[in-house]
A and B are shown apart, each in its own frame.
Chain A
Amino acid sequence: MEAKPEKYIISIMVDNEPGVLARVVGLFSGRGYNIESLSVSEVDSDKFLSRVTIVTSGKEIIVNQIKSQLLKLIPVHNLIDITQEKSFVAKELILLKLKNNLKNRKKTLDIANKYNASILIDSNTELIFEMSGTTLEISDFIEKIRPYGIIELTRSGLVSMSLGLDYIKK
């Protein structure tokens, strides 16, 4: 049996210009690399820089290729492989919508409480929970809530940074 490919969290700083995300995503699809999650948003509005966090998996040799190919993209300023750092934090955000009925209300609120999920909307018809956590915590939370009837959910994909005073350079 083949060993399960390792997961890598790669963070890149890119020029926030039209098409930059297409360049990143196109590189992955064109060369047959995996993307497990991707999140992107502007982080420096003076320099028009966005930070992209990509979770990918594969053999080390492939991931090294991914990194050097990403660095070759002209709008990519810098890259760090967060999973290679000594220590790091990695979180994602979930919004989860449930039908609000008296029968399940207490049980679902208990679960939410246990997972530090907060109530975003509490209306006659629905409950929307918001929670941030590690990928594992979030998957756990979903599984616990699932029996009570999830209407819909959305996850942000992972964002991550390393610990210490070094930071991804611009």
Chain B
Amino acid sequence: MNKKITGAKLLIECLIKEGVKVIFGYPGGAVLPIYDELFKQKKIRHILVRHEQAAVHAAEGYARSTGKTGVVLVTSGPGATNTVTGLTDAMMDSVPVVCITGQVPTHMIGNDAFQEADIVGITRPCTKHNYLVKEVDKLASAIHSAFYIASHGRPGPVLIDIPKDVQTFKTQYLGKNKTKKLTYYSPKTNPQELEIISLVKMIKAARKPIFYVGGGAVNSGIKASKVLFELIEKTGFPCTQTLMGLGAFPTSHKQSLGMLGMHGTYEANLSMYNADLILCVGARFDDRITGKISGFSPNSKKVHIDIDASSFNKSVMVDLCIQGDIEKVLNKTIDLIKKERITFDIRKYQSWWKKINVWRKKDCLSYKKDNKIIKPQYALQRLNELTLKKEPFITTEVGQHQMWAAQYLTFNKPKHWMTSGGLGTMGYGLPAAMGVQIAHPNGLVIDVAGEASILMNIQEMSTLKQYRLPVKVFILNNQYMGMVRQWQELLHGNRLSESYMDSLPDFVKLAESFGATGLRATKPSELDDMILEMIKIKGPVIFDVCVDQTENCFPMIPSGATHNQMLLGPDDKAEDTISEDGMVLV
């Protein structure tokens, strides 16, 4: 007979059974019994963040860099509502996170009690699933179900709301295997044979094919990236990756065309436009990718491989949908290609590659060099050059610096690039970097930031200090919300409404006040030495890189335009390509 234990203790035991090593959290009245149990044990490490939103982003960083589920623990009311942005971010980017919230005692629910919020109601649309556990006997089941749901199928955040009395009531814990699942969930991961046969037929028939790889390929796991690599090399087809997919296939590979979409490369977008076969692997034809739908890759057959059936035919109609886990689908595809002894004679694709190489020669990422002012692109190129060997983990905030990071850094491994792609959450990068550094204590973790975004979760510098996390914050400081300013310049007559970052802190002093090292560069000639210094420093660093204030992010497909209507640089006029319909789009 198992001894009866409290709900709080049971929670900790369940987490240990789920292999949880780290929790990101913030205590409060409604979770005190849980914090008391945390205090009494040594198996789970608790990282005290400075804001609950940051706890979720840290858990996301932890999850995205390891493939494990990130865990968050916060109190009721404001503690819980502060997680909403993080949960929505994890939902949009398919990150496995389990968020545990305290709740007022069951008999007070609905009474507008102190620090009460209907967090299950609030987070219903921004979680994959959520539970309010009102009986302690169902707690173990809810926790194990939550971990299963978060990490199976298309991953996502799951929230468990535990009233304070449930944390103190006693029950038996039968262990993970004997605990009945609270919910039935069994996502389809195996593709059908007929689908693979059709896919291989289409691959065989194509003359102008392209792989379009997204975050699903990263989520499927390291093995999926290996299989993807094998398939792309075997076919010799070009490959472009979404913002979320970067690293699933090495971007320095000769078949890689870089990122596609709104700020993607000329060669990637024109290849998509002119292709006769698009092989979409774990991407979702997002509006940043497609541009104007009616003009998206007009002459291609399209195959969509995804674990989530609701991604199919949502915006772009495709010719073949294959629901399944990327690794399994690609493995079966390779098997069939081998079995049928299909060869990929380079002569078949010669004229296609010839075109692609012409587009490549356009060198769309070139920019006007300057030896007085630091160009943001140059700063990132130097960062890339000087850190690449260390295989750094890169996180970003959101805006111009994020796009430049995606364009100018090299991503040769999956799970080394953490950025807020779907939701576009400013303030994501620093806490995410924190989570990454916890998971990889010896790794080089760099948050490529803007001076506006970084201020949204700057309080986490304190967390870095407390846990001696040597995160490097690389701020491309142009004193503007750069992307807002760019849109105002291109679309709103350069009326820079509220986009100037007035009264910025002195980032060097700010770093020092948090016990970190502050660096500042204002001239290109200073960059190399200071980047090397930044890497050498054992603790956290804020590197304030003062860059060109008016630089814009190119190439750019303006809203409502198609892949063949890119602006390549400041000399291209936006007004020529932007329609009135496009003006209302984001």
Contacts and interface: CB of A to CB of B under 8 A. Distances in A.
Interface stretch (A60-68, A133-141, A145-153): A60-68
A19 B314 contact: no
A22 B123 CA distance: 12
B310 A77 contact: no
A74 B124 contact: no
Contacts of B310: 65, 68-69, 71-72
A18 B109 CA distance: 14
A78 to B, nearest CB: 10
A72 B185 contact: no
B183 A19 contact: no
A28 to B, nearest CB: 11
Contacts of B314: 65
B132 A18 contact: yes
Contacts of A26: 124-125
Contacts of B313: 61, 64-65
Contacts of A77: 184
Contacts of B149: 74
> Which of the four size classes fits the interface of chain B?
10 to 19
Contacts of A64: 313
Contact of B312 (A18, A27, A68): A68
Given A74-B185, A75-B183, A68 B309 contact: yes
Contacts of A61: 313, 317
Nearest to A47: B184
A30 interface: yes
Nearest to B187: A72
Contacts of B447: none
Interface in A64-91: 64-65, 68-69, 71-72, 74-75, 77
B183 A22 contact: no
Interface string B309-323: 110111001000000
Contacts of B444: none
Contacts, number: 36
B129 A74 contact: yes
Contacts of B129: 74
Contacts of A69: 310
A105 interface: no
Interface string A6-23: 000000000100110011
A74 B312 contact: no
Contact of B309 (A19, A71, A74): A71
Contacts of B276: none
Contacts of B132: 18-19
Nearest to A18: B132
Given A72-B308, A74-B129, A23 B124 contact: yes
A30 B125 contact: yes
A22 B184 CA distance: 19
A36 B386 CA distance: 61
A74 B308 contact: no
B120 interface: yes
Contacts of B124: 19, 22-23, 26
Nearest to A15: B183
A77 B185 CA distance: 8
Contacts of A30: 125
Nearest to A60: B313
B164 interface: no
A127 B317 CA distance: 55
A22 B118 CA distance: 13
B120 A74 contact: no
A27 B129 CA distance: 13
B117 to A, nearest CB: 15
B144 interface: no
B305 to A, nearest CB: 16
B128 interface: yes
A98 B504 CA distance: 72
A19 B183 CA distance: 14
Nearest to B126: A30
Contacts of A72: 308-310
Contacts of A15: 183-184
Interface string A21-58: 01100110010000000000000000000000000000
Contacts of B184: 15, 77
12 contacts: A15-B183, A19-B121, A19-B124, A61-B317, A64-B313, A65-B310, A68-B312, A71-B310, A72-B309, A74-B129, A74-B149, A75-B183
**CB-based closest 10 A-B pairs:** A68-B310, A74-B129, A68-B309, A30-B125, A69-B310, A74-B183, A72-B310, A74-B185, A26-B124, A26-B125
Given A69-B310, A72-B309, 11 more contacts: A19-B124, A19-B132, A22-B121, A61-B317, A65-B310, A68-B309, A72-B308, A72-B310, A74-B128, A74-B129, A74-B183
Interface of A: 15, 18-19, 22-23, 26-27, 30, 61, 64-65, 68-69, 71-72, 74-75, 77
